[in-house]
């Protein structure tokens, strides 16, 4: 009886984790697509142009929020994957 209860409890948690993983995956894809293109001068990198291409570019406002949200969602994705593997 106890094994049956434990099975349904673990199965329910696993199902919930899969739903969270799906939601976080969709949000992560959306947020990554919203980020600005930081490689505007990629041809200069290949041709040996401006060596400090990214040094003068700082994230501010919405860019900073989107960057932090991407980092947070990526961390949550990683943690949920680890927890799902252990359960």
CB 1 within 8 A of CB 71: no
Q: What percent of the chain has pLDDT over 70?
A: 62
What pLDDT does residue 63 have?
Answer: 85
Three-state DSSP at 23 gives helix
Q: What percent of the chain has pLDDT over 90?
A: 31
Q: Position of tokens 């943690």? A: 79
What pLDDT does residue 35 have?
Answer: 83
């Amino acid at each position: 009886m106890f094994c049956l209860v434990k099975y349904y409890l673990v199965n329910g948690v696993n199902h919930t984790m899969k739903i969270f993983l799906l939601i976080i995956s969709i949000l992560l894809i959306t947020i990554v697509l919203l980020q600005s293109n930081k490689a505007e001068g990629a041809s200069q990198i290949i041709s040996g142009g401006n060596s400090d291409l990214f040094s003068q570019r700082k994230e501010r406002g919405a860019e900073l929020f989107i960057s932090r949200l991407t980092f947070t969602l990526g961390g949550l994705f990683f943690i949920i994957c680890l927890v799902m593997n252990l359960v």
